[in-house]
Structure 1
Amino acid sequence: MHMPTKEPQINRLLGALPPEEMEILRPHLQQVPLIFRERLYEAGEPIRHVWFPNSGVVSMITELAEGDPVELATIGPEGMVGIALILGSERMENVAFNQIAGDALRMDAAQFRSSLERCPALHRLLLRYTAALMQQISQGAACNRMHTVEERCARWLLMTHDRVYTPNFLLTQEFLGQMLGVRRPTVSLAAGMLQKAGLIHYSRGEITICDREGLEAAACECYEVIRKEFERLVGAPG
């Protein structure tokens, strides 16, 4: 069974850098709050900042013409928000918003691009992180096509648990339905089955993970694929 480690004091990517590169970045990093439901990016707008979350969870979503959002990726203290800059793009083609409040270290986009030239270890690590995030996105697309809502719900809860480092977090059924791309009655049924099995407890918009091992068994294989690929490319938490 995989268990989340103790909450880090700093973003894991920044924490993995050699001291000399962290000293280059430190003057340009501003600690800011991640406010619940705040949008960090709008689709098609220029990227002005990148974020390295220390706590909290950010969702990358795409909004369809019908107005329904679908989550592409979940980002927490293990990652960075704004990977398009690493790949040479000046814009994000999706939306990023805070699904669970926390805080982050924010850097100006121009300063970030300049820092990549001076920080080769950061550049290498972020390229590997980008590969891991792309794996999460592609695996999630396959998961949404092939697996049941209950399995997908378990996977999403596990991924969120990994990032918040606590078994309790705020989550409405409406919001979970948006993340899974299903209607509220469907997600209510799936969450109800997980609760009936004793894996989670849901009350007044708060989720509690009661049986981590059982929730892993209820999830599809996509959770382990995503987690192991991230550890291969970027490293295990700790």
Structure 2
Amino acid sequence: MFDPTTSKPVGGANSTRRTVQNAILATLPEQQFALFRPHLRAVPLKLNEVLQDALRYPDAAYFIESGVVSRMVRTARDGPVEVAVVGKFGFVGVSLVLGAKQTIQRSVVRVPGSALRIDADAFRDILQQSPQTREHLLRYVQLLLALNAQIALCNARHDISERVARWMLLAQDRIGGDRIPVTHGLIATALGVRRPGVSKALSDLEANGIITGGRGSIRIRDMERLRGQACECERILKDRFRVFRDMPHYHHRVV
């Protein structure tokens, strides 16, 4: 099975083609992916960039190649809170798949990276041409709904320290490696809690040798012990995405 998280583009250092890293696209058979190829454009994801805003008509979909995007909801009184974490196992643009005219949630870049962007009109045309592709993408939509529900439960029932550990593990799963380029304030915003609570949780983890804090980043030193500090939501959320981890991955390349 081809693993898009570890593959290297064919063609050497001077090649202008790149191997697709996004699991949703990488698990499409070639005939279906060929519909996307002419329309995909590699774009950088900048910190705090808003890819889609709530109650707006989306102009594009983004298949995340690297980095982390938060799907947020908010109220005027309570401010924003994260309801889903999107990375290389997902995409931003669910409302287009569902045929909705507006997005419900705001999608904000929390960890910089890159994505493959496709204009909304081209995306809709592909979904109309290929029911199989729409069905494939709806599998992710179903997972995202489960993700929203699980994180809502987590936010309501679990301690800040458990949620901080859960957030870092999910971010690491989408980024790869042991270093997460985030600040205390960013995690606090994502979880919808005050920064001192996050700082206390991170300080305790560092005192126990589980993580190392740095300027604008956190390094995970002991993954297993960090999992021991997280609530069971981390395992549940990761297991749900095995459907895309276990599917055959193809060597799709784009310019």
What's the TM-score once normalised by structure 1's chain length?
Answer: 0.93
Map of 1:114 onto structure 2: 125
Map of 2:181 onto structure 1: 170
Q: What is the distance in 2 between the residues matched to 1:82 and 1:128?
A: 14
Q: What is the distance in 1 between the residues matched to 2:174 and 2:140?
A: 15
Question: Residues 125-204 of structure 1: matches in 2 within 5 Å?
Answer: 125-204=136-215
Q: What is the distance in 1 between the residues matched to 2:132 and 2:238?
A: 22
Map of 2:230 onto structure 1: 219
Q: 1:97 aligns with which of 103, 108, 119?
A: 108
Q: What is the distance in 1 between the residues matched to 2:162 and 2:169?
A: 11
Unpaired runs of 5+ residues, structure 1, are none
SS in 2 for 1:86: helix
Map of 1:6 onto structure 2: 6
Q: Deviations over 1:122-175 (max 9, x none)?
A: 212211111111111100000111111111111000000001112112111111
> Structure 1 residue 20: deviation in Å?
1.1
Question: Residues 4-83 of structure 1: matches in 2 within 5 Å?
Answer: 6=6, 9-10=19-20, 11-66=22-77, 68-83=79-94
Matching residue's letter, 1:191: L
In 2, are the aligned partners of 1:7 and 1:165 still within 8 Å (CA)?
no
Unpaired runs of 5+ residues, structure 2, are 9-18, 250-255
Count the aligned residue pairs.
234
Moved over 4 A (4+): none
In 2, are the aligned partners of 1:74 and 1:160 still within 8 Å (CA)?
yes
- Please tell me the root mean square deviation across aligned C-alpha atoms, in Å: 1.8
In 2, are the aligned partners of 1:7 and 1:164 still within 8 Å (CA)?
no
In 2, are the aligned partners of 1:17 and 1:121 still within 8 Å (CA)?
no
Q: 1:229 aligns with which of 221, 224, 240?
A: 240
